Structure 1
Amino acid sequence: MADKHGAEKHIDEISGVETTGHEWDGIRELNNPMPRWWVWTFYATIVWALGYTIAYPAWPMLSEATRGVLGYSSRANVAQDLQVAKAAQTVYLDRIAAAPFADIVADPELAQFAISGGASAFKVNCAQCHGSGAAGSAGFPNLNDDDWVWGGSIDEIYTTIAHGIRFEGDADTHVSEMPAFGDMLQPEEIRQVAAYVVSLTGTPHDASLVEPGKQLFADNCASCHGEDAKGNREMGAPNLADAIWLKGEGEEAIANQVRAPKHGVMPAWLPRLGEPTVKQLAVFVHSLGGGE
């Protein structure tokens, strides 16, 4: 039997069904028609798709999509849901904005709302620097421990978040500038200071440098970091006697910081986020490791 093009058709001997002409390793493909139910289901999906694109927004145009005859808008639904959620939160946000931190913490329901809201705001605005778990990284403080440069009470944390650190756009921002002692001390003296600082929590590379480094520390560093090197939160001078390092750990890293210090910058979040959100952030961060 030949088809309309004159090519010889092949009929499977066992089933009596025409084959497609495709063959793999001696196995021929039968040209069985699709089941009737499958074909009609396929046609039904086409009709459904056409009806859906007419009823609902579907086809993209130059400036917007077709709106559909039903006038449905998922964006409008989301906006409405957000308004409902915001209205439900308003009573808590107003209380947080008006209440002192002591009252917020003393109210379990309000405190939980503030912690939850602060956690959400932290993930959106703070996790990029401090990490999703607030553990920080080199140059970005770990907020889970009890070591604070500018103070760990809720009020102090609030001030830091609200006004930032070395943020030029806020007159009340925290400012502390460690001088570059590479312009004041000799390289050997910087190594001595680094050795002394290491000796407070560990073993320096050369113990003979510790004693002269101690005197250099007293002459040049104690005015900010304190005679015991435990820091001064009013000046933003870190505690150097707790083995927690912000700019890098080890004798070489300490020497580099003494020689040419790095100064971090944090934006003032109050103008961006508003009073209730910043207070929620302060409560949340304090719950991680405030301890005061």
Structure 2
Amino acid sequence: MSEKQIDEISGVETTGHEWDGITELNNPLPRWWLYFFYATIVWAIGYTILYPAWPLINSATTGILGYSSRASVADEMAKAEKVQEVYDKRIEEESLENILADQELRQFAVAGGSAAFKINCVQCHGSGAQGAAGYPNLNDDSWIWGGDINQIYQTVAHGVRFDGDDDTHFSEMPAFGDILDSQQIREVSAYVVSLTGAPSNPDLVEPGKQVFLDNCAACHGENAQGDIEQGAPNLADQIWLYAGTEADIAKQVRKPQHGVMPAWLGRLGESTAKQLAVFVHSLGGGQ
């Protein structure tokens, strides 16, 4: 057994370790530190007795308090659902105008509509509702079927060209490739492009205008600004769903594409459909 080594200066026993002439003293830990350490041991033992702690083969010790984090979360969710039920019921019963006028209801509807949008709508309209080719941008002020709150709700609730819903929006642009000849299609495409840009051949604009008035104005209007009652898009605002270039316009005139949107009322219910409408209206494009 080695002899104790005492530091000559302090008179304190050393550990026997030395680094660069510096000897490590074997001082005891401070009492406060020891008391705190002992308290943590007591706390740990008490915790394992009171709360779930030790894993078993198929479960874990439950603790004498019977606490369960899962049960706690379920209880909190149940409380939140009860609060939501109150708002859901109010939204079902109130008109859309009243929902917009009530700040509390409106905030709840926007938050709920945003959540429903992320689950059901982003696949087509994008996470920011910016749309894509064939899917409308919901942030601008160009609306095919109208942008006031009731018109948006009608579109959300009953969809567009959706089989199985008698109240769905429906319109169908004729395939003018069966009605007009190739020259007339080039002319009317040049005219439509001229409303917002420069056509490839300006000489085709005037005859194209007459073709437009004879065949397209009944739906899109003589000024080409569209008609929401018929779902005819505005062609004079540089916002395009399928077209954009002169070739795209000619393609759409010749053989138009027709999009389909589901009717969400039957799938999500009255309250969520209204919340979606309020959310879309809040994006900035609503009238």
Does residue 123 (structure 1) correspond to residue 132 (structure 2)? The answer is: no
Q: How much does 1:103 deviate?
A: 1.1
1:240 aligned to which of 226, 235, 242? 235
Taking the aligned partners of 1:52 and 1:183, their CA distance within structure 2 comes to 78
Q: How much does 1:229 deviate?
A: 0.5
Does residue 172 (structure 1) correspond to residue 147 (structure 2)? The answer is: no
Which letter maps to 2:180? L
CA RMSD of aligned residues (A): 1.9
Contact kept, 8 Å, 1:154 with 1:290, in 2: the verdict is no
Percent identity of paired positions between Structure 1 and Structure 2: 63
Partner SS for 2:247: helix
Partner SS for 2:283: helix
Q: How much does 1:78 deviate?
A: 4.9
Q: How much does 1:146 deviate?
A: 0.5
Which letter maps to 2:143? W
**1:47-196 paired onto structure 2 within 5 Å:** 52-54=54-56, 66-68=58-60, 70=62, 78-196=73-191
**In the alignment, what sits opposite 2:16?**
none
Contact kept, 8 Å, 1:225 with 1:231, in 2: the verdict is yes
TM-score by structure 2 length? 0.77
Does residue 259 (structure 1) correspond to residue 258 (structure 2)? The answer is: no
Does residue 231 (structure 1) correspond to residue 229 (structure 2)? The answer is: no
Q: How much does 1:185 deviate?
A: 1.0
Deviations 1:183-204 (A, max 9, x none): 1111121111110000111110
Partner SS for 1:136: coil
**In the alignment, what sits opposite 2:245?**
250
Unaligned stretches of 5+ residues in structure 1: 1-47, 60-65
Q: How much does 1:82 deviate?
A: 2.9
Q: How many residues align?
A: 233
Contact kept, 8 Å, 2:226 with 2:235, in 1: the verdict is yes
Distance 1:194 1:273, change over 3 A: same
Taking the aligned partners of 2:132 and 2:69, their CA distance within structure 1 comes to 40
Contact kept, 8 Å, 2:55 with 2:61, in 1: the verdict is no
Q: How much does 1:77 deviate?
A: 5.4
Does residue 283 (structure 1) correspond to residue 278 (structure 2)? The answer is: yes
Which letter maps to 2:196? T
Partner SS for 1:289: coil
Distance 1:241 1:277, change over 3 A: same
Distance 1:252 1:87, change over 3 A: same
TM-score by structure 1 length? 0.75
**In the alignment, what sits opposite 1:41?**
none
Q: How much does 1:271 deviate?
A: 0.7
Contact kept, 8 Å, 1:139 with 1:247, in 2: the verdict is yes
**1:196-211 paired onto structure 2 within 5 Å:** 196-211=191-206
Contact kept, 8 Å, 2:177 with 2:253, in 1: the verdict is yes
Q: How much does 1:248 deviate?
A: 2.7
Contact kept, 8 Å, 2:129 with 2:137, in 1: the verdict is yes
Taking the aligned partners of 1:194 and 1:52, their CA distance within structure 2 comes to 76
Deviations 1:17-74 (A, max 9, x none): xxxxxxxxxxxxxxxxxxxxxxxxxxxxxxx9xx8441xxxx7xxxxxx455649877
Distance 1:127 1:74, change over 3 A: farther
Q: How much does 1:247 deviate?
A: 0.6
Contact kept, 8 Å, 1:195 with 1:205, in 2: the verdict is yes
Taking the aligned partners of 2:182 and 2:124, their CA distance within structure 1 comes to 33
Which letter maps to 1:171? D
| Worse-matched range after superposition: 72-81 or 184-193 | 72-81
